[in-house]
Chains A and B, each alone.
Chain A
């Protein structure tokens, strides 16, 4: 009997712990396009007559030891704050290994792993928050100093949620690596302090996400179709107002074919206390549209914790 009680109690405690935690965003340090291009780590191609440069991250990690040093220092300091970072170099390697495995993987009957063009497009190193890193070495006569810029960018809303920047003291003798470590030490606390403010705002006013509504061209109706005398777009807006935190969202774009909702503040937990993200929130909208009187078949896609797309008309 005692055993049953203790097992039940521990189960209740475990589930309370699991439900009590919000979904933790992943953070990754990425060298900025500016840094990559300035230091020669880029690939150049001709895009219909326009020369386009894109960062070559793999080569940057392989050839620049200062970059590895800065990322490793940042990783160390963030781990110490209980927020270990995703390592971009490892993420790139994992993706390559996975792609190679997918190419080789076949079933006994000879079937391969299915991958749509969208799946292939999504197969990139990503995180919910990007710590974008730029530094420049300033030289004045024999003196050297470092201008350091660390930006925390939300991958979904494209907003800068934290930042720290400044120029270090010029030095005659210190090596660049030492100056870089000094810069990280100087700026990381301020960066984290701003990141903390962002998280506090998130817990108080909800997670900010983006929701897109699209339609397949095979669907005979559109967002201007009426249900009980009300346009579908207005019905969706009413649902958003009722389900967001304090009714906070902006309808940035709306046509008969698409709607874009930005600054959508969703609760961190649903009614049952379970942690939710953009997908969890959009699933409720998907269910709402699937049910009568609308009965609209739709497809839900997600991008990390903060972006969801619902395409109406088909699966």
Chain B
């Protein structure tokens, strides 16, 4: 009886570990996709002053991870990538930094910043304007999520941390 229970528990543990490691691997893959710019950003409208309302298309085998990764991609994109217009009324937006190698130079700052549950979460929220749009592309999902990024707060935070220069720095 006890032996049966032990084997059941160990089976459940192994199963959970497998699921956990698979989720971990998928998350890692999604992070890698972020680092290699494998996401798309488009503007969907004019947000409140100091915020940007954007739709982020992320890729993952799990639609759930693609949705959570959208927030990370949104912040990453606004810092390093910018976007080229979008819906009517939207104009192309330059990234917060003009230095293309900043992510590598300041890896000590950005690694924990973009880690799971990192500080990036402070500046982004999923907008109530639209539900996620999953699309099956080959073996993975491409999911579009509308998010709102508090760009003014993000910029101020990066300026205070000495990662990017403020408009009045040096004067």
Known A166-B91, A168-B89, A190-B94; judge A185-B46 contact (CB<8 A).
yes
Q: Known: A182-B89, A186-B91, A190-B92. Is A195-B167 also a contact (CB below 8 A)?
A: yes
Report yes or no: A169 in contact with B89, Cβ–Cβ below 8 A: yes
Within 8 Å CB of B165, what residues of A?
196, 200
Chain B interface main SS type:
loop
Question: Of residues 160 to 188 in A, which have CB atoms within 8 Å of B's CB atoms?
Answer: 164, 166-170, 181-182, 185-187
Provide the residues of chain B in CB contact with A166, threshold 8 Å.
91
Asked whether A81 lies within 8 Å of B167 as measured between CB atoms, the reply is yes
Q: List residues 57-109 of chain B with CB under 8 A from any CB of chain A.
A: 87-94, 98
A190 to B82, CA, bound (A): 10
Contact of B89 among A25, A186, A199 (CB under 8 A): A186
Given known A-B contacts A186-B89, A186-B91, A24 and B152 have beta carbons under 8 A apart: no
Contact with A along B157-171 (1 / 0, CB 8 A): 000000001111011
Residue B128, interface by CB 8 Å: no
Q: Is there an interface contact between A185 and B49, defined as CB atoms closer than 8 Å? A: yes
A22 B88 Cβ-Cβ under 8 A = no
- Report the minimal beta-carbon distance from B167 to chain A, rounded to whole angstroms: 5
Separation of A170 and B92 alpha carbons in the complex (Å)? 18
Which B residue sits closest to A195, measured CB to CB?
Answer: B167
Contact assessment for B94 and A186 in the assembled complex, using a CB-CB cutoff below 8 Å: no
Contact A190 B91 (CB under 8 A): yes
Alpha-carbon distance A82/B160, docked complex (angstroms) = 12
Most buried by A among B45, B49, B88, B165: B49
Are the CB atoms of B88 and A170 closer together than 8 Å? yes
Give A197's nearest chain B residue, CB to CB: B98
Q: How far does the alpha carbon of A194 sit from the alpha carbon of B49 in the complex, in Å? A: 19
**Any B CB within 8 A of the CB of A23:** yes
On whether the beta carbons of B89 and A24 are closer than 8 Å, the reply is no
Q: Which residues in chain B, 121-171, are within 8 Å of chain A measured between CB atoms?
A: 151-152, 165-168, 170-171
Question: Given known contacts A182-B46, A185-B46, is B93 in contact with A196 (CB within 8 Å)?
Answer: no
Cα of A193 to Cα of B83 in the assembled complex, Å: 14
Q: Are A22 and B46 in contact (CB under 8 A)?
A: no
Size category of the binding interface on chain B = 20 to 34
Total chain A interface residues with beta-carbon distance under 8 A? 34
CB A165 to nearest CB in B, in angstroms, measures 8
B42 CB, min distance to chain A CBs, angstroms? 14
**A199, chain B: closest CB distance, angstroms:** 7
Question: How near does chain B come to A136, taking the closest CB pair, in angstroms?
Answer: 15
**Which residues, 23 to 51 on A, are CB-close (under 8 Å) to B?**
23-25
A77 contacts B by Cβ under 8 Å: yes
Picked from B87, B88, B91, the residue with its CB within 8 Å of the CB of A164 is B91
Nearest A residue to B49, CB-CB: A185
8 Å CB contact of B46 from A186, A192, A268: A186
Within 8 Å CB of A82, what residues of B?
Answer: 166-168
Whether the pair A24, B98 counts as a contact (CB closer than 8 A) is: no
Rounded to whole angstroms, the CA-CA distance of A187 and B167 in the bound complex is: 16
What residue in chain A is nearest B156 (Cβ atoms)? A80
CB distance from B101 to the nearest CB of A (A): 15
**Given known contacts A185-B46, A190-B94, A200-B98, is B87 in contact with A169 (CB within 8 Å)?**
yes
- In the complex, A22 Cα to B48 Cα: how many Å? 34
Closest 3 CB pairs of A and B: A169-B89, A24-B171, A82-B168
Q: A186-B89, A190-B92, A193-B94 are in contact. List 4 more A-B contacts (CB 8 A).
A: A145-B89, A169-B88, A190-B91, A200-B165
10 CB-based A-B contacts, threshold 8 Å: A83-B168, A168-B46, A169-B45, A169-B88, A169-B89, A170-B88, A186-B89, A190-B92, A190-B94, A196-B167
Binding site for B on A (CB under 8 A): 21-25, 77, 80-83, 145, 164, 166-170, 181-182, 185-187, 189-190, 192-197, 199-200, 203, 268
Measured CB to CB, the residues of B under 8 A from A are 45-50, 87-94, 98, 151-152, 165-168, 170-171
